[in-house]
């Protein structure tokens, strides 16, 4: 209470000055007084108490009714004081949480880091940008001893921290699948069982898994409800949607995933993405899938990594640099 008492005379002088002169500077100082009180955790009812004391000193003959009314006001302010205390402690907790989340986000980064491999005859570009602190998109490259290249691209439905945790679970389950069982349909079937058993019912994961075998130049793939990618056929200079049916991971227990395959010719491109790419909005307007392809086409002369970066920059500009959803785009091009 000592600081407050010290300020009491100050408050009284200010009040006196204001009553006499109606001076703006006194008002400004009153504002400073309230800010200082907040810094010192002084509650609103304490300020009213100071006001009552100052008033009594200034007007010893204060009518009884006014005095009682001030005490009444003081009682009425007590709840505000409590609410303010609560606000203070929440603010501290929020700061603590914020720093924990940023630690978790950087841990996730470290855990889920994937290295874009060098594969002879393939030009690979990959970009993944989170909309918030933690990325709900996931992509991973696996290079087997027999030179086959596995590519997983996934989106965890349910955002934020729970999604990020589910992602780590997926990554470790995938790491534990033996190398001779790495065909796309088998991978999705195993992951489906993991997700179905372990994840909250409103959460599920979409995933596309592709496997490129350089020995026969074939691309094998399966999809668990993932946003369809595109295939660029260089000979015909045409894009087509990669059709692959399959239900999202984690909804039904014994789901089987069909595996598809296609021969990849020189100059062909395989485009894998998440819905953060196709669900871009410009103001209130959704972009059409053709627009994504037009943009890809306009940068197609660039190396794959430059290509995905330019496409990202295009949509970042289109959305005023504010992503609504995590954005992941991977392009494989078979070199001539």
Partner 1 sequence: MNLDINVSDKDSTAVVALAGEIDAFTAPQLKEQLLPLTKESGKVVEVNLENVNYMDSTGLGVFVSALKSTKENNSELKLVQLQDRVMRLFEITGLTDIINIDSTVRGGS
Q: Does 157 bind partner 1 (CB under 8 A)?
A: yes
The nearest distance, CB 41 to partner 1, in angstroms, is: 34
The nearest distance, CB 272 to partner 1, in angstroms, is: 14
Interface mask toward partner 1 for 215-234; x: CB under 8 A: ---------xxxxx------
**Cβ distance to partner 1 smaller for residue 249 or 307:** 249
Q: Does 59 bind partner 1 (CB under 8 A)?
A: no
User: What whole-number distance in Å separates Cα of residue 219 and Cα of residue 192?
Assistant: 22
**Cβ distance to partner 1 smaller for residue 43 or 206:** 206
When binding is defined by CB under 8 A, the residue of 22, 89, 110, 202 that contacts partner 1 is: 202
Closest CA to 125 of 224, 324, 325, 273: 273
User: What whole-number distance in Å separates Cα of residue 249 and Cα of residue 90?
Assistant: 37
Q: Does 67 bind partner 1 (CB under 8 A)?
A: no
**Cβ distance to partner 1 smaller for residue 11 or 230:** 230
Q: Does 7 bind partner 1 (CB under 8 A)?
A: no
Is the CB of residue 316 less than 8 Å from the CB of residue 325?
A: no
Residues 6+ apart with CB under 8 A from 248: 157, 204, 205, 206, 224, 225, 226
**Cβ distance to partner 1 smaller for residue 129 or 247:** 247
- DSSP of 248-279: PBTSSTT-----EEEE--TT-EEEEE-HHHHT
When binding is defined by CB under 8 A, the residue of 286, 294, 297, 298 that contacts partner 1 is: 286
**Cβ distance to partner 1 smaller for residue 179 or 241:** 241
Q: Does 139 bind partner 1 (CB under 8 A)?
A: no
User: What whole-number distance in Å separates Cα of residue 124 and Cα of residue 117?
Assistant: 8
**3-state DSSP assignment of residue 156:** strand
- Cα 317 to chain center, whole Å? 19
Residues lying near partner 1 in the complex (CB under 8 A) are found at 155, 157-159, 200-204, 206, 224-228, 245-248, 251-252, 275, 279, 286, 325
């Amino acid at each position: 209470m000592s600081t407050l008492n010290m300020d009491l005379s100050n408050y009284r002088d200010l009040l006196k000055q204001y009553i006499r002169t109606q001076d703006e500077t006194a008002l400004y100082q009153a504002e400073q007084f309230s800010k200082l009180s907040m810094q010192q955790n002084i509650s609103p009812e304490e300020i009213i108490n100071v006001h009552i004391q100052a008033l009594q000193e200034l007007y010893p003959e204060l009518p009884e009714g006014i005095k009682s009314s001030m005490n009444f006001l003081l009682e009425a302010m007590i709840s505000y004081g409590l609410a303010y205390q609560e606000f203070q402690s929440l603010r501290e907790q929020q700061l603590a949480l914020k720093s924990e989340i940023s630690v978790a986000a950087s841990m996730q980064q470290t855990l889920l880091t994937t290295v874009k491999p060098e594969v002879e005859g393939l030009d690979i570009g990959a970009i993944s940008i989170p909309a918030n602190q933690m990325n709900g998109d996931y992509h991973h490259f696996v290079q087997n001893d027999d030179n086959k290249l596995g590519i997983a691209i996934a989106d965890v439905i349910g955002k934020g921290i729970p999604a990020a945790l589910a992602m780590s679970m997926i990554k470790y389950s995938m790491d534990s699948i033996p190398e001779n069982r790495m065909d796309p349909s088998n991978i999705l079937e195993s992951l489906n069982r993991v997700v179905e058993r372990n994840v909250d019912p409103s959460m599920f994961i979409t995933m596309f898994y592709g496997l490129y075998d350089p020995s026969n130049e074939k691309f094998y793939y399966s999809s668990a409800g993932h946003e369809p990618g595109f295939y660029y056929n260089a000979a015909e200079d045409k894009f087509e949607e990669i059709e692959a049916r399959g239900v999202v991971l984690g909804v039904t227990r014994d789901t089987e995933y069909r595996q598809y395959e296609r021969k990849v010719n020189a100059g062909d491109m395989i485009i894998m993405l998440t819905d953060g790419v196709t669900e871009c909005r410009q103001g209130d307007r959704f972009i059409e899938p053709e627009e994504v392809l037009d943009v890809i086409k306009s940068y197609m002369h660039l190396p794959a990594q430059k290509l995905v970066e330019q496409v990202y920059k295009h949509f970042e500009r289109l959305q005023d640099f504010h992503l609504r959803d995590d954005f992941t785009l991977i392009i494989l091009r078979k070199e001539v």
